[in-house]
């Protein structure tokens, strides 16, 4: 049995453990306003907004892809769909602005876009006089595709929302209603969908149901249900296990609970590792980052997962727990082969150790993907170092997409460690890279493209170490960084796609 509120009304439903929020809405509750496009979290047509009791009042509406969100994760939440936004005949400002700016054509994507705009509008109500920053708009809509209207009218509608009459639904400002859904409790009353609250309970449930998959944000796992039509008679949910949900600060670093979401982790990274935080802006979409966890990213062991290369460059460690108790493992010992990890039967990841940045240490992270928003990496490079005088120290270089697992490249590190950051040292590093790695060759990029692009990321790093302005024949001073970095990458892309070379440019 799942108890939750839908558009201000209490619901009590019983569905199998592998039911998605989308299937619950459309098939069980007959709410067909939420659409199914891709069923894989990519298009945003199924976007809904969920307020969870874990965040303090007032309710914070966060978008999610209903197609890959387990229905049982609604326990104790308030779910809002496109049917719930209007107040009688009066449209919500997000809807009214979409109408006024002609931001819908076939209409298939529109419920999802309206829900993303709804969440954006609600999060900005206190500051609605400030113009909407382009980055905030991109972040809110990056997970919504529209194939026929074009994005300009949608963007215009987003900018115009704040000026619309404030006709929000009656449930939006009802404190009694909020108290009611917050009182429902998070623990599941379902027989086959288990929500352990502590590690000991998790261990017991895993012994009793060894075949039950573990689920956290479900943004990888649930594709098994929607794409491969897998069925799970039992599911064990990690999102309420206290030990997996906290961030514990220590003198030399932090233990990040494995079920902490990207959105919850981001403020810490922004303060201490801005380059890592910047990467999160490009990890999936807002819908994905609201629910996906770092533990899921590591356990999934994809060679193109975004956080493992960065965590490898930061020398992260893992705390694992299983039937034989807890143990710690360097992340570098976790990835054994393609999607094969060091997890023993019955074990799970409890937390990830993130060391505090040392004095003078620096981090650069570059992700290459075909699309900026909501796209998996073709290749990701993470570079850690300190500079003492002219010399590079503590050099750590890690890549994703360059082998069957994310990995560090010791020969590249050795080519640079203790050396001045000269062109010769980086030429050695690039030679070492080519000798050490045999990248994947797949639809995202050929092995040749990946090798060339990875070498170009080393070049890019080298250029950022020498950012002094240089005079160019065309006049003004330009930073080496902005002029030359993209060119080798563009050339590599053209070679990989067998395009004719561009006409030579001066400078």
Q: Which is nearer to ligand FAD, 196 or 213 (CB)?
A: 213
DSSP 3-state of 172:
helix
69 interacts with ligand FES by CB under 6 A: no
For 369-455, strand residue ranges (E) read 379-388, 391-400, 407-408
In order of 215, 318, 407, the CA distances from 305 in angstroms are 17, 16, 11
What would the two tokens of residue 119 be? 């969440």
DSSP 3-state of 68:
helix
240 interacts with ligand FES by CB under 6 A: no
- Smallest gap from Cβ 222 to ligand FES, in A, equals 10
- Binding ligand FES (rule: CB under 6 A), the pick from 25, 49, 67, 137 is 67
In order of 66, 182, 189, 213, the CA distances from 3 in angstroms are 17, 11, 9, 23
283 interacts with ligand FAD by CB under 6 A: yes
The option from ligand FES, ligand FAD, none interacting with 109 (CB < 5 to 8 A, set by class) reads ligand FES
DSSP 3-state of 365:
strand
Q: Which is nearer to ligand FES, 145 or 256 (CB)?
A: 145
Burial (CB count within 10 angstroms: exposed 0-12, middle 13-18, buried 19+), residue 482: exposed
- Smallest gap from Cβ 333 to ligand FAD, in A, equals 16
| Segment lying near ligand FES (by CB under 6 A), choices 48-56, 147-155, 291-299, 354-362 | 147-155
Cα–Cα distance between 368 and 482 in angstroms, integer?
Answer: 17
Q: Which is nearer to ligand FES, 112 or 381 (CB)?
A: 112
| Segment lying near ligand FAD (by CB under 6 A), choices 114-122, 281-289, 358-366, 381-389 | 281-289
| Segment lying near ligand FAD (by CB under 6 A), choices 144-152, 293-301, 466-474, 494-502 | 293-301
41 interacts with ligand FAD by CB under 6 A: yes
7 interacts with ligand FES by CB under 6 A: no
- Smallest gap from Cβ 253 to ligand FAD, in A, equals 19
SS3 for 271-317 is: HHCHHHHHHHCCCCCHHHHHHCEHHHHHHHCCCCCCHHHHHHHCCCE
- Smallest gap from Cβ 28 to ligand FES, in A, equals 17
Contact between residue 306 and residue 377 where contact means Cβ atoms under 8 Å apart: yes
Contact between residue 368 and residue 492 where contact means Cβ atoms under 8 Å apart: no
The residue assigned the tokens 């490009």 is: 282
Which residues inside 191-230 make contact with ligand FAD, applying CB under 6 A?
213-221
What would the two tokens of residue 324 be? 């034989």
- Binding ligand FES (rule: CB under 6 A), the pick from 14, 102, 107, 185 is 107
DSSP assignment, residue 28?
A: I
146 interacts with ligand FES by CB under 6 A: yes
264 interacts with ligand FAD by CB under 6 A: no
The option from ligand FAD, ligand FES, none interacting with 292 (CB < 5 to 8 A, set by class) reads ligand FAD
């Amino acid at each position: 049995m799942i108890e939750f509120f839908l558009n201000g009304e209490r619901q009590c439903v019983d569905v199998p453990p592998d039911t998605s929020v989308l299937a619950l809405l459309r098939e069980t509750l007959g709410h067909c306003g939420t659409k199914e496009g891709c069923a894989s979290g990519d298009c945003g047509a199924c976007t809904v907004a969920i307020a969870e009791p874990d965040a303090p009042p007032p309710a914070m509406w966060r978008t999610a892809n209903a197609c890959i969100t387990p229905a049982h994760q609604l326990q104790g939440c308030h779910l809002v769909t496109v049917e719930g936004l209007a107040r009688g005949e009066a449209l919500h400002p997000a809807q009214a602005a979409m109408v006024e700016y002609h931001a819908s054509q076939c209409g298939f994507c529109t419920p999802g876009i309206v829900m993303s705009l709804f969440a954006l509008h609600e999060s900005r109500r206190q500051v609605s006089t400030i113009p909407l920053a382009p980055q905030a708009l991109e972040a809110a809509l990056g997970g919504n595709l529209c194939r026929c209207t074009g994005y300009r009218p949608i963007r215009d509608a987003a900018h115009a929302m704040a000026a619309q009459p404030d006709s929000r639904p009656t449930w939006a400002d009802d404190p009694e209603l909020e108290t009611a859904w917050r009182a429902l409790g998070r623990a599941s009353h379902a027989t086959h969908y288990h929500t352990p609250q502590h590690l000991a309970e998790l261990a017991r449930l895993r012994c009793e149901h060894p075949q039950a998959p573990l689920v956290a944000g479900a943004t990888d796992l649930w594709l098994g249900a929607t794409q491969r039509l897998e069925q799970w008679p039992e599911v064990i949910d990690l999102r309420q296990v206290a030990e997996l949900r906290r961030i514990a600060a220590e003198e030399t670093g932090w233990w990040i609970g494995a079920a902490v979401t990207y959105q919850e982790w981001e403020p810490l990274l922004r303060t201490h590792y801005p380059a890592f935080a910047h990467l999160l802006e490009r990890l999936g979409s807002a819908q994905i980052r609201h629910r996906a966890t770092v533990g899921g990213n590591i356990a999934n062991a994809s060679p193109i997962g975004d956080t493992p290369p960065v965590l490898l460059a930061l020398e992260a460690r893992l705390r694992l727990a299983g039937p034989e108790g807890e143990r710690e493992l360097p992340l570098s010992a976790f990835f054994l082969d393609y999607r094969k990890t060091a997890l023993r039967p019955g074990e799970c990841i409890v937390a990830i150790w993130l060391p505090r940045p040392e004095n003078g240490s620096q981090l650069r992270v570059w992700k290459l993907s075909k699309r900026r928003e909501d796209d998996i990496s073709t290749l990701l490079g993470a570079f850690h170092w300190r500079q003492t005088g002219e010399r590079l120290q503590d050099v750590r270089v890690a890549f994703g997409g360059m082998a069957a697992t994310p990995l560090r490249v010791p020969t590249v590190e050795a080519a640079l460690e203790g050396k001045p950051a000269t062109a010769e040292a980086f030429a050695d590093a690039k030679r070492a890279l080519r000798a050490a790695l045999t990248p994947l060759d797949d639809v995202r990029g050929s092995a040749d493209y990946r090798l060339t692009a990875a070498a170009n990321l080393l070049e890019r790093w080298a250029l950022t170490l020498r950012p002094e302005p240089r005079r160019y024949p065309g006049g003004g001073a330009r930073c080496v960084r902005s002029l030359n970095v993209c060119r080798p990458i563009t050339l590599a892309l053209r070679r990989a796609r067998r395009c004719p070379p561009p006409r030579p440019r001066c400078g």
